[in-house]
Amino acid sequence: MSVNYNVLGLVFASMHDAYVSELTKQRTMGSIPFGGRYRLIDFPLSNFVHSGVSEVGVITKSNYGSLLDHLGSGRDWDLARKKGGLHLLPPYSQTGGIYKGRLDALNNIWGFVEHSNAKYVIMSNCDVVTTINFNPVLKQHMENEADITLVYSRGVYDYEKNKCTTVLEFDGDNRLKDVLVDPQFSGECNIWLEMCIITKDFLKKIVSDAASRNQFSFTREILQGRRDDFKIMGYKHDGFFTKIDSIQDYYLANRMLLDPEKKNALFRKDMPVLTKIGDNGPVKYGLESSIKDSLIADGCIIEGTVINSILFRGVKVGKDSVVKDCVLLQGTKVGENCSISSVIADKNVEISNEKVLTGSETYPLYIGKGGKI
Amino acid sequence: MYTKKRVVAMLLAGGQGSRLYALTKNVAKPAVPYGGKYRLIDFPLSNCTNSGIDTVGVLTQYQPLVLNEYIGNGQPWDLDKMNGGVHVLPPYETQAGASWYEGTANAIYQNMRFIERYDPEYVVVLGGDHIYKMDYSKMVDFHVANDADCTISVIDVPKAEASRFGIMICDDKNQVTDFVEKPKEPKSTLASMGIYVFTWEKLRKYLIENENDANAKREKGEPWSKDFGKDIITSMLRDQQRLFAYEFEGYWKDVGTLDSLWEANMDLLSPSVPLDLYDPSWKIYSRNSNMPPQYVGDNANIENSMISEGSTIDGTVDFSILFSGVTIEAGATVNYSIIMPGTVIKSGAVVEYAIVGSDSVIESRARVGSSPEMIENRDDWGIAVVGHNVTVSAEKVVAPKQIIGENI
Query: Cβ–Cβ of A284/B306 closer than 8 Å?
Result: yes
**Mean pLDDT of chain A, nearest integer:** 91
Chain A residue with the nearest C-alpha to that of B301: A290
Pick from B278, B300, B306: CB nearest A292: B300
Tell me what percent of the residues of chain A surpass a pLDDT of 90. 69
* Euclidean distance between CA atoms A53 and A202, whole angstroms: 20
- Whether chain A has a CB inside 8 Å of the CB on B66: the answer is no
Q: By the 8 A CB rule, do B117 and B3 touch?
A: yes
B308 contact residues in A (CB cutoff 8 A): 282-283, 298
- Chain B residues whose CB is inside 8 A of the A272 CB are 290-291
Q: How many Å apart are CA B312 and CA A260, to the nearest integer?
A: 10
What pairing do the DSSP bridges indicate for beta strands B166-170 and B93-94? unpaired
Give the closest of A277, A282, A311 to B306, CB-based.
Answer: A282
The single-letter DSSP state of residue A350 is: E
Whether residue B46 is predicted with pLDDT greater than 60 in this model: the reply is yes
Contact B303 A311 (CB under 8 A): no
Cβ(B369)–Cβ(B337) under 8 Å?
yes
**Cβ within 8 Å, pair B283-A311:** no
Mutate to test the interface with B, among A78, A240, A296 (most CBs of B within 10 A): A296
Lowest mean pLDDT among A58-62, A178-182, A314-318, B316-320: A58-62
Q: To probe the interface with A, which of B73, B288, B296 has the most A CB atoms within 10 Å?
A: B296
- pLDDT (tens digit, 9 = 90+) per residue, B267-309? 999 988 889 999 889 999 999 888 999 999 999 999 999 999 9
B369 Cβ contact list (under 8 Å, min separation 6): B337, B351, B352, B353, B354, B383, B384, B398, B399, B400
User: Between chains, do B294 and A280 touch, taking CB under 8 Å as contact?
Assistant: no
pLDDT tens for each residue of B97-111: 777 788 888 889 989
Contact present, B131 and B255 (Cβ < 8 Å) = yes
In angstroms, rounded to a whole number, what is the distance separating the alpha carbons of residues B288 and B303? Answer: 25
- Rounded Cα–Cα distance for residues A275 and B183 (Å): 51
Judged against a pLDDT cut of 90, whether residue B265 lies above it is answered with yes
Query: Mean pLDDT, to the nearest integer, of A208-216?
Result: 89
pLDDT (tens digit, 9 = 90+) per residue, B200-234?
999 999 999 998 888 888 889 988 888 888 889 98
- Chain B: residue whose CA lies nearest to A288: B303
Selected residue of A284, A313, A328, A333 to mutate for chain B interface (largest B Cβ count, 10 A): A284
Q: Any known ligand binding at B192?
A: yes
Q: Are the CB atoms for B54 and B85 separated by under 8 Å?
A: yes
**Percent of chain B surpassing pLDDT 70:** 99
Yes or no, beta carbons of A277 and B292 under 8 Å apart? no
Min Cα–Cα distance to chain A from B75, Å: 9
CA distance A128 to chain B (A): 18
The residues, ordered by sequence, that sit 6+ positions from B333 with a Cβ below 8 Å of its Cβ are B315, B316, B349, B350, B351, B352
Which residues in B lie closer than 8 A to residue A329 (C-beta atoms)? none
pTM: 0.89
Rounded to whole angstroms, how far apart are CA atoms B117 and B2?
Answer: 9
CA torsion sign, B295 to B300 to B306 to B311?
negative
Q: What is the ipTM of this complex?
A: 0.87
Would you say A83 and A97 are in contact if contact means Cβ atoms under 8 Å apart?
no
Q: How many CB pairs under 8 A join A and B?
A: 107
Question: Residue B17's pLDDT is what?
Answer: 62
| Lowest mean pLDDT segment, chosen from A303-312, B18-27, B48-57, B201-210 | B18-27
pLDDT at A164: 84
Interface check B212 vs A, CB under 8 A = no
- The pLDDT assigned to A95 comes to 60
Tell me what pLDDT residue A92 has.
66
Does B101 count as an annotated binding residue?
A: yes
Tell me the average pLDDT of chain B.
90
Chain B residues lying within 8 Å of A283, measured CB to CB: 294, 306-308
- Is residue B221 annotated as involved in ligand binding? no
Inter-residue contact A179 to A225 (CB < 8 Å): no
Q: How many angstroms separate the CA atoms of A153 and A188, rounded? A: 10
- A271: DSSP letter: B
- The Cβ of residue B119 has, within 10 Å, a number of other Cβ atoms equal to 13
Query: How many whole angstroms separate alpha carbon B371 and alpha carbon A138?
Result: 58
Confidence label for B64 from pLDDT (cuts 50, 70 and 90): confident
pLDDT at A249 over 60: yes
| Amino acid at position A161, single letter | K
For chain A, give every domain's residue range. Answer: 7-266, 284-367
> Percentage of residues in chain B with pLDDT exceeding 90?
60
Cβ atoms B308, B302 nearer than 8 A = no
pLDDT per residue as tens digits for the range A21-54: 888 888 888 999 999 999 999 999 999 999 999 9
User: Which of B297, B301, B308 has the CB atom closest to A293's CB atom?
Assistant: B297
Q: How high is the pLDDT of residue A94?
A: 61
The single-letter DSSP state of residue A23 is T
B181 annotated as ligand-binding: yes
**Whether residue B242 has pLDDT greater than 90:** yes
pLDDT at B15: 63
* Residues of chain B contacting A273 with CB distance shorter than 8 Å: 290, 292
Q: Nearest CA to CA, how far is A33 from chain B (Å)?
A: 13
Q: Which residue of A34, A264, A283 is the best one to mutate when testing the B interface, meaning the one whose CB has the most B CBs within 10 A? A: A283
* Nearest Cβ partner for B304 among A273, A281, A287: A287
Measured between beta carbons, which residues in chain A are less than 8 angstroms from residue B75? 75
pLDDT value, residue B38:
94
Whether residues B285 and A279 touch (CB distance < 8 A) is answered with: yes
SS3 A120: strand
**B73 touching chain A per CB within 8 A:** no
What per-residue confidence (pLDDT) applies to B346? 96
Residue A285 reports pLDDT greater than 80: yes
- Give the C-alpha separation, B28 to B19, whole Å: 12
> Has B346 been labeled as part of a binding site?
no
Q: How many CB atoms lie within 10 A of CB A212?
A: 8
Q: Each residue of B122-164: pLDDT tens digit?
A: 999 998 889 999 999 999 999 999 999 999 999 999 888 888 8
In B, minimum Cα distance to A269 occurs at B291
The rounded radius of gyration (Å) of the Cα atoms in chain B is 22
3-state secondary structure chain B: CCCCCCEEEEEECCCCCHHHHHHHCCCCHHHCEECCCEECCHHHHHHHHHCCCCEEEEECCCCHHHHHHHHCCCHHHCCCCCCCEEEEECCCEECCEECCCCCHHHHHHCCHHHHHHCCCCEEEEEECCEEECCCHHHHHHHHHHCCCCEEEEEEECCHHHHHHCEEEEECCCCEEEEEEECCCCCCCCEEEEEEEEEEHHHHHHHHHHHHHHHHHHHHHCCCCCCCHHHHHHHHHHHCCCCEEEEECCCCEEECCCHHHHHHHHHHCCCCCCCCCCCCHHHCCCCCCCCCCCEEECCCCEEECEEECCCCEECCEEECCEECCCCEECCCCEEECCEECCCCEECCCCEEECEEECCCCEECCCCEECCCHHHCCCHHHCCCEEECCCCEECCCCEECCCCEECCCC
- When pLDDT is cut at 50, 70 and 90, the band that residue B16 belongs to is low
Cα–Cα distance for residue pair B180/B230, rounded to 1 Å: 9
Phi and psi torsions of A170, nearest 5°: -125, 155
User: Confidence band (pLDDT; 50, 70, 90) for B327?
Assistant: very high
Reference A37, options A333, A312, A344, A349; nearest CA is A312
Contact B237/A at CB under 8 A = no
Q: Which of A133-142, A189-198, A261-270, B26-35 has the lowest average pLDDT?
A: B26-35
Q: Does B133 touch chain A (CB under 8 A)?
A: no
Give the Cα separation of A304 and A326 in Å (integer): 14
Give the pairing type, strands B190-199 and B166-170.
Answer: antiparallel
CATH superfamily, domain at A284-367: Hexapeptide repeat proteins (2.160.10.10)
What number does CATH give the domain A7-266? 3.90.550.10
Name the band, by pLDDT with cuts 50, 70 and 90, for residue B334: very high
| Chain B residues closer than 8 Å to A307 by CB | none
Nearest-by-Cβ selection for B307 from A36, A285, A288 = A285
Q: What does the pLDDT read at residue B159?
A: 87
Q: How do strand B361-362 and strand B344-345 relate by DSSP bridges?
A: parallel
Whole-angstrom Cα Rg for chain A: 21
- Residue B75 · residue A279 · CB < 8 Å: no
Nearest to A90 by CA among A58, A122, A55: A58
- CA B126 to chain A, closest CA, distance in angstroms equals 23
Q: Which residues pair with B322 in a beta bridge?
A: B307, B339
Closest by alpha carbon to A124, among A57, A174, A216? A57
Q: Strand B33-34 and strand B38-39: pairing?
A: antiparallel
Report which of B287, B157, B152, B177 is spatially closest to residue B228, judged by C-alpha positions.
B152
Cα(B169)–Cα(A78) distance, integer angstroms:
52
Cβ-in-10-Å burial (0-12, 13-18, 19+) of A250 comes to buried
Residue B215: per-residue pLDDT: 85
Are residues A108 and A12 in contact, defined by beta-carbon separation less than 8 angstroms?
A: no
A39 neighbourhood in chain B, CB within 8 Å = none
Q: Which residues of B touch A306 (CB under 8 A)?
A: 296
Whether B292 and A275 lie within 8 Å, measured CB to CB: no
* B308–A292 CB contact, under 8 Å: no
Distance from CA of A157 to the nearest CA of B (A): 28
| String of DSSP letters for A124-155 | EESSEEE---SHHHHHHHHHHT-SEEEEEEEE
Tell me the domains of chain B and their CATH numbers: 7-269 (3.90.550.10), 295-404 (2.160.10.10)
pLDDT at A1 over 60: no
The arithmetic mean of pLDDT across residues B349-364, rounded, is: 95
- Nearest chain A residue (CA) to B46: A279
CA angle B14, B166, B203 (to 5 degrees): 65
d(CA A201, CA A85): 21
The helix or strand, by DSSP H or E, that contains position A311, with its residue range, turns out to be strand A310-311
Nearest chain B residue to A299 by CA: give it: B278
